[in-house]
Structure 1
């Protein structure tokens, strides 16, 4: 389909690509990955012809239809409805539609055979191009991307940037391209829309190239990873998880080859040094010098997975209750967010707040942070000190400060060595720390703001979309930082890998209430899947009931039963939290040297750990059964 041969592309004197090669075949589903600044988006622009290679070639067939989604489409302006904008994909069908309308109008006064024949030809072509179904197809894709029927008739320029990007994606998908080039397609998408896109792309018959930092998304869609690194393109068969494993193996082999070669070089250098001064051995020494110069040097393996080595400290630990929300009611003119809602954040909670866009996640974070007015109360607990991170706070960075100065002014208790260590974790190494904030990209500013948030003396963090603009490596660093953080936090993110690795509780807004699942994101997904299946079965049973059946009135007995079940549910949630702490306690015990090195102690501790874990699993199963009972009674 597309052949890239000996591609070089220079920006000033810097070679973004240096004789890189890559062949995209029909049916390839490729994840194009690499650290920020390695040229992934640039490569897509080279393929579509927006940029011209410095040298080398990019060849493809002339009739290849490319669908290209890039972040520049955010600037597209239109006063037309988003349905109209999406249907711009059907260029020929729209042209035929207009011509048919003109001919029908002309027929009001002209009944000639010429007009009738023209109309017949146009209508046949329109039908052959499935023109009568184009609006239905546009409706279907826009709905999948999260647009309601009412939204589809709103002008494009009334939507925010993230929603506009979805409209552009819909228009591209409707073009039925032979190959899709998607640059960060899940940016600004909520979880339901990401899942819909995964399902759509899974059934897409053409080739796909995706630039993305969402490793779960890549795992679901791609069958090949191409890594952009040091000017080259390296291919790995398999999804992202396979790439991580395979790259680890390749790195081990390369590290071994490097060490062996370095040992050989040192041995040769010793021989040369020993004999080069002797006239009888000078020729041999020169021969060995030339052999060394001609040697293909094996590069050492860079450490691309830095570990966080930083003490996240705060002066005062918080009390048991960090935040208590009571009787919270919040609405906007077009939507009600919360109504008489309640929730509690306790010390040590690591909460992921999830849900579709427009459900009030960021609003709830602002309410907790005290920056959003609402009816009701949000009480902060004893000794709680908080820091609120949101994307708009990037604007509060001091542009004339260097990166290091920005952190020094915010965290004077930390030494320069500590701050530089943290910045190194966020990929600011060496002289990078002296760069001015004003010259940084959006992603780099986001990393600075995150590092700044983590140096705070706060025992409670509020993080709104902290993974936006971060590459996979930076997301991994943030995960490590939050895993080491001993305080409490609540975060909104659409990165499922991130959520699965940092959260011990899931919050979601449903029926204008704040609801909680006491477990990891993976466990929540499994529970939600069962819940949706159970709900569908209940609805199917309802549909089978006779139409004349009187509506069900909830009896006092049912009310009492519901109250009893809800009390049991609350108690069980408390038991789950305590039992999870018990499991983690035994996990920590097993990791101690005095335990694992003693066979008897290890056996005893392992037995207690297994017993505690089995009880936790039972509690989770009981919790799911209780929720299903409550759902059936409420329906």
Structure 2
């Protein structure tokens, strides 16, 4: 489909890519990852022809249709409705619709056979292109991305950048391209929209290349990872979790090879040094020197996963109750957010506030932080509570002419320069980086500076609104470690499910204009919510109707036979699950074999087999759950 051969791309004296290779095949779903600055977005622009490589080739199938979502689309402006903007994807259908309307007007005065034939031809082509369903398709995709029926009638110009990006995504998806290039598609999506996009991309039949820092999203969508590293494109067969395991295995092999080679080099150098002065050994010494020079050196493994290891300071401990909301009501014109809502935040709570955009998450954070006082009811902080509030507007509060270290020194004067440098090092600012001016930093770098400031504050209560925006996977991992080490209390709004699952011990969500709480991790909440949503709505009525009809309940003998059969089926399914899990382990061992990566066809075959085994395991697990529920229902007397 697309072949990248010996690609070199230079910016000034720096080679962003150096003879990199990558073949994208039909049906590939690839996550393109790498640290910020390794050229992921640049590579997408090279593929679509916006940038020209220094050398090498990019060849692709003739007439290939590429859909490219990039952050530049945020600037797209239009006074037309978002439904109309999305439907601009159907260029030929729209053209035919206009021509058909014009021909119908002419037919009011001209009944010639030529005109009727033209109209018939246009209508046939329009129907063949599914023209009568394009509005429904556009409406369906916009609804999946979070737009209500009323929203779809509003002009694009009324929407903020994040919502405008969703419209552009809808337009690209409606074009049904052969390959989708998506640069950070989840950046401006809430959790329901991310889940909808996951389902859509899982069913998408074309190829996909996704640049994303959302590892849960990558795990659910991609079957290949390509890492941009040191000018090369390194391929791994599997999703992001498999990539982590496989990369660790490769690095262990590389580390052992490096250590063995270094030991051999030292041994040779000692031998050379020992016999260098002896004329009788001169030939042997020269031979060994040349052998060392010809040796292909194995590089040591670089640690791209820095760890956070500093103690967060706050001068006083908070009381038991950190914040209390009582009878809080808040609304915007035509949009009630909270109505007589109550909630309590206690010392040590690590709260994830989740939900769809527009439900009031950021508004609730501002109320708790005290920056929004336009509400009724009570919101008060507890004894000895000191807070810091991180939101995206904090980036605008950075002093552009300050150096990074200077910015932190003025904000946190109690910390020593060594401590601040250590903190900045954890946020990937090392060496002379700390003397960079704020004004020259990228959006992601500014986010890291603002986060470092928030975490150095003398605060025992953190309020964090979308702290992962603009952060790459490496930086998200740093934030997770920092929050895990934080001994105070925090509440965080984020669409990064990996972060939420690793830092939260309580889940808050707004439902029916009330603040609801789930006392557990995000993964546990997801499981609970899935069961809650899948519960049949009319179970109670059905039970009432069925209860009097005793003859429909199974007799004891029948019930015993049915129970035995179900238990037998359950045991058989358990055995099949165990066998399938063993097959998956065998497949993982096969894919860990370095020799496999030398043969692309065998690699793809092994990868497809591995993915198929995982799907079969999921089917068996679903069967087991259904049997278990049937047994429970039978034993509890539910028909």
TM-score range, shorter chain: 0.7 to 0.9
Gaps of 5+ in 1: 546-635
The answer for the alignment partner of 2:478 in structure 1 is: 477
Map Cα deviations across residues 95-147 of structure 1 (whole Å, 9 max, x no partner): 00000001001111111111111101000000000000000000000000000
Q: Superposition pairs for residues 435-514 of structure 1, below 5 Å? A: 435-514=436-515
SS in 2 for 1:89: coil
The answer for the alignment partner of 2:384 in structure 1 is: 383
The answer for the alignment partner of 1:195 in structure 2 is: 195
The answer for the alignment partner of 1:128 in structure 2 is: 128
Q: TM-score, normalised by structure 1?
A: 0.84
The answer for the alignment partner of 1:352 in structure 2 is: 352
Distance in 1, Cα, partners of 2:409 & 2:261: 43
The answer for the alignment partner of 1:515 in structure 2 is: 516
The answer for the alignment partner of 2:366 in structure 1 is: 366
Per-residue deviation at 1:540? Answer: 8.8
Per-residue deviation at 1:268? Answer: 1.6
Map Cα deviations across residues 357-397 of structure 1 (whole Å, 9 max, x no partner): 00000000000011112111111100000000001111111
Distance in 1, Cα, partners of 2:537 & 2:16: 52
Distance in 1, Cα, partners of 2:160 & 2:198: 23
Per-residue deviation at 1:539? Answer: 9.6
Q: Superposition pairs for residues 519-598 of structure 1, below 5 Å? A: 519-534=520-535, 536-537=537-538
Distance in 1, Cα, partners of 2:14 & 2:542: 66
Per-residue deviation at 1:538? Answer: 5.3
- Change in Cα spacing, 1:287 to 1:537, as seen in structure 2 (3 Å) is farther
Q: Superposition pairs for residues 407-426 of structure 1, below 5 Å? A: 407-426=408-427
Distance in 1, Cα, partners of 2:189 & 2:17: 31
Distance in 2, Cα, partners of 1:424 & 1:431: 11
Distance in 2, Cα, partners of 1:537 & 1:265: 75
Distance in 2, Cα, partners of 1:511 & 1:539: 22
Distance in 2, Cα, partners of 1:253 & 1:432: 32
Q: Which stretch shifts more, 255-264 or 276-285?
A: 276-285
Distance in 1, Cα, partners of 2:258 & 2:541: 64
SS in 1 for 2:327: strand
Distance in 1, Cα, partners of 2:189 & 2:5: 35
The answer for the alignment partner of 2:226 in structure 1 is: 226
- Change in Cα spacing, 1:372 to 1:540, as seen in structure 2 (3 Å) is farther
Distance in 2, Cα, partners of 1:201 & 1:247: 25
The answer for the alignment partner of 2:401 in structure 1 is: 400
The answer for the alignment partner of 1:626 in structure 2 is: none
SS in 2 for 1:185: coil
Q: Which stretch shifts more, 404-413 or 23-32?
A: 404-413
Distance in 2, Cα, partners of 1:2 & 1:276: 55
Superposed CA RMSD in Å reads 1.5
Per-residue deviation at 1:161? Answer: 0.5
Distance in 2, Cα, partners of 1:502 & 1:52: 43
The answer for the alignment partner of 1:315 in structure 2 is: 315
Distance in 1, Cα, partners of 2:272 & 2:283: 10
SS in 2 for 1:302: coil
SS in 1 for 2:309: coil
Per-residue deviation at 1:217? Answer: 0.5
The answer for the alignment partner of 1:575 in structure 2 is: none
Q: Which stretch shifts more, 119-128 or 421-430?
A: 421-430
The answer for the alignment partner of 2:560 in structure 1 is: none
Gaps of 5+ in 2: 547-639
